[in-house]
């Protein structure tokens, strides 16, 4: 059929769309990585290792593929991986999760957290986040129709402020989201903090979402305190972790959610129609690799050495370091720098640092709803020593 020019133009016109998410932009990590690449900068912005994972892990996944483990796995994840995860949690944190009804393999922690929100948050429910917080939390709550309640962490130390947490809880509160070790500050919750949270939540129906993706990056003398170790928390918690962080494979996007049977059942209702499941050979490869606990048990020492190397370098610059208790992030205060650009605001300063000094960083303001600016920026030290030394060399010129 021959169409008139006018008709074919109409057919080809994209319907006008009212944005459903008008306030959502592109994540700061994508923006800063693009700017780093464009500027030829050392990228200490987005959190990912610039070194390879263990060759054995690649061989384990390859072997699974070659053995023909390439079709759909069970919706919940392959049994050997659920078993390995359950055993690990039991050994490290003392809680037994049922492999069939309480552990689910996800497409990374990002999918896990969105799926939790979609599964449990009813329109109008309140969800408490502790600011600064990871950038997907708030959009995830919005997508679920929930109301975000922002409670600040204590300024300067980033420690939980339990009076404010307590004050934020009301009959509309559906859940509270915590993250230790904490991105971006690196702060680690203490045993007493977990006990206090357990006490505050005990008389309530509030669910806990515990983002523990950096569980294996806590530096001596501190240790990780998982929500799963506290019976009163475990009974109400979705505990989220990520293989991307623990095994240097952020691009594989595989994570886990451990939660009591009733919570897991609701989680899986959404998970099955969200991603259904996660790629098979990677799951089998991870299960085989997990038989040896050394890789994750060695991780604190591995990253502690990198943190110390990076901090020793930073000590020779004008940047003022904040504590680095956990994660692979190191935050610094820029207010004492001698360059006038320190007054640009964190976000513009990071762009300037990337373009003019050749080191990319992330502004802490990106982790706040109101872009609160405290002259602090975040560096990622999950990098080869040569990368860290190159960054220090550039930062020392300031
Ligand atoms: N939570 C936090 C605190 C993170 O830093 C990240 C990503 N680095 C995630 C969740 C998402 O993890 P994943 O890459 O497994 O989706
Ligand atoms: N979590 C990583 C960070 O904080 C980034 C992950 C991402 O780019 N989505 O840097």
Quick: pLDDT tens for 247-275.
Answer: 999 999 999 999 999 999 999 999 999 99
What confidence score (pLDDT) does residue 2 get? 60
Q: Which ligand is nearest to the CA of 181?
A: 1
Q: In the 3-class helix/strand/coil scheme, how is 300-318 assigned residue by residue?
A: HHHHHHHHHHHHHHHCCCC
Residue ranges of alpha helices (H) inside 5-67 are: 5-12, 28-39, 55-66
Residue 335: both structure tokens together:
């207010």
* φ, ψ of residue 302 in degrees (nearest 5): -60, -50
Distance 318 CA to ligand 1 centre (A): 30
High-pLDDT (> 70) share of the chain, %:
98
Q: Is the pLDDT of residue 4 over 80?
A: no
- Regarding the beta carbon of 108 and ligand 1, being less than 6 Å apart is answered yes
What confidence score (pLDDT) does residue 3 get? 63
Interatomic CA distance for residues 216 and 181, integer angstroms: 9
* φ, ψ of residue 354 in degrees (nearest 5): -65, -50
Ligand 2 atom closest to the CA of 183, numbered from 1: 4
**71 touches 280 (CB < 8 A):** yes
**117 touches 144 (CB < 8 A):** yes
- For 181-222, write each residue's pLDDT tens digit: 999 999 999 999 999 999 999 999 999 999 999 999 999 999
**DSSP state, 66?**
H
- Average pLDDT value for residue range 321-325: 97
Any idea what the Cα angle at residue 135 is, between residues 45 and 17, rounded to 5°? 115
What confidence score (pLDDT) does residue 155 get? 87
Is 129 strand, coil or helix? Answer: strand
- Closest Cα to atom 9, ligand 2: which residue? 29
Q: How far are the Cα atoms of 52, 62, 69 from residue 55, in angstroms, in the given order?
A: 8, 10, 20
Interatomic CA distance for residues 163 and 144, integer angstroms: 27
Interatomic CA distance for residues 327 and 248, integer angstroms: 13
Asked if the peptide bond before residue 184 counts as cis, ω within 30 degrees of 0, the response is: yes
Q: Which ligand is nearest to the CA of 183?
A: 1
Residue 252: both structure tokens together:
């594989």
* 14 vs 168 pLDDT, higher one: 168
Ligand 1 atom closest to the CA of 242, numbered from 1: 15
* φ, ψ of residue 326 in degrees (nearest 5): -160, 180
- Average pLDDT value for residue range 332-361: 96
Longest dimension (CA), the chain: 76
pLDDT tier at 1, thresholds 50, 70, 90: low
- Average pLDDT value for residue range 106-112: 98
Residue 310: both structure tokens together:
């990076």
Interatomic CA distance for residues 92 and 311, integer angstroms: 29
pLDDT tier at 369, thresholds 50, 70, 90: very high
Q: Which are the contacts of 259, defined by CB distance < 8 A and separation ≥ 6?
A: 97, 102, 237, 238, 239, 267
Q: Is the pLDDT of residue 288 over 80?
A: yes
- Regarding the beta carbon of 295 and ligand 1, being less than 6 Å apart is answered no
- Closest Cα to atom 8, ligand 2: which residue? 29
Question: From the centroid of its chain, how far is CA 80?
Answer: 25
Ligand 1 atom closest to the CA of 134, numbered from 1: 3
- Regarding the beta carbon of 250 and ligand 1, being less than 6 Å apart is answered yes
Is 162 strand, coil or helix? Answer: helix
Structural domains of the chain, ranges and CATH numbers in brackets: 24-47+297-395 (3.90.1150.10), 55-291 (3.40.640.10)
pLDDT tier at 331, thresholds 50, 70, 90: very high
Distance 213 CA to ligand 1 centre (A): 6
Q: How far are the Cα atoms of 50, 52, 95, 100, 218 from residue 383, in angstroms, in the given order?
A: 5, 10, 33, 37, 17
Q: Which pairing describes strands 173-179 and 147-152: parallel, antiparallel, or unpaired?
A: unpaired
- Regarding the beta carbon of 47 and ligand 2, being less than 6 Å apart is answered yes
Distance 182 CA to ligand 1 centre (A): 11
Q: Report the residue among 241, 242, 251 best suited for mutation to probe ligand 1: largest number of ligand atoms under 8 A from its CB.
A: 242
- Closest Cα to atom 7, ligand 2: which residue? 29
Distance 134 CA to ligand 2 centre (A): 8
| Mean pLDDT lowest among 11-25, 109-123, 289-303 | 11-25
Ligand 2 atom closest to the CA of 33, numbered from 1: 8
């Amino acid at each position: 059929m021959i169409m008139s020019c006018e008709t074919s133009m109409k057919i080809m016109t994209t319907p006008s769309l009212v944005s459903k998410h008008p306030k959502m932009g592109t994540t700061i990590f994508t923006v800063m990585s693009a700017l780093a690449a464009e500027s030829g900068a050392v990228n200490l912005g987005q959190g990912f290792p610039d070194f390879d994972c263990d060759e054995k892990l690649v061989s384990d996944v390859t072997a699974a593929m070659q053995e023909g483990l390439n079709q759909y796995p069970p919706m919940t994840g392959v049994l050997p991986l659920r078993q390995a995860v359950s055993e690990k949690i039991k050994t490290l944190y003392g809680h037994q999760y049922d492999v069939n009804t309480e552990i689910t393999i996800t497409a990374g922690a990002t999918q896990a957290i969105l799926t939790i929100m979609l599964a449990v948050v009813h329109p109008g429910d309140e969800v408490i986040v502790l600011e600064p917080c990871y950038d997907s939390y708030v959009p995830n709550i919005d997508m679920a129709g929930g109301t975000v309640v922002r409670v600040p962490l204590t300024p300067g130390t980033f420690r939980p402020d339990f009076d404010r947490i307590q004050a934020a809880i009301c009959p509309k509160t559906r859940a509270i989201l915590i993250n230790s070790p904490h991105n971006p500050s690196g702060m680690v919750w203490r045993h007493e903090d977990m006990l206090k949270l357990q006490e505050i939540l005990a008389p309530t129906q509030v669910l806990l979402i515990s983002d523990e993706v950096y569980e294996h990056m806590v530096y001596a003398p501190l240790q990780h305190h998982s929500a799963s170790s506290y019976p009163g928390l475990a009974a109400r918690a979705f505990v989220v972790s990520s293989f991307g962080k623990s095994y240097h494979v952020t691009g594989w996007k595989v994570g886990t959610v451990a939660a009591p049977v009733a919570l897991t059942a609701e989680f899986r209702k959404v998970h099955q129609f969200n991603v259904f499941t996660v790629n098979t050979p990677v799951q089998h490869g991870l299960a085989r690799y997990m038989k040896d606990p050394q890789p994750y048990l060695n991780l604190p020492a591995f990253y502690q050495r990198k943190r110390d190397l990076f901090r020793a370098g930073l000590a020779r610059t004008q940047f003022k370091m904040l504590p680095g208790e956990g994660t692979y992030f190191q935050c610094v205060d820029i207010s004492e720098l001698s360059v006038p650009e320190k007054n640009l605001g964190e976000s513009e300063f990071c762009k300037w640092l990337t373009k003019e000094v050749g080191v990319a960083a992330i502004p802490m303001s990106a982790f706040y709803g109101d872009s609160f600016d405290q002259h602090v920026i975040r560096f990622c030290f999950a990098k080869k020593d040569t990368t860290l030394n190159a960054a220090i060399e550039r930062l020392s010129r300031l």
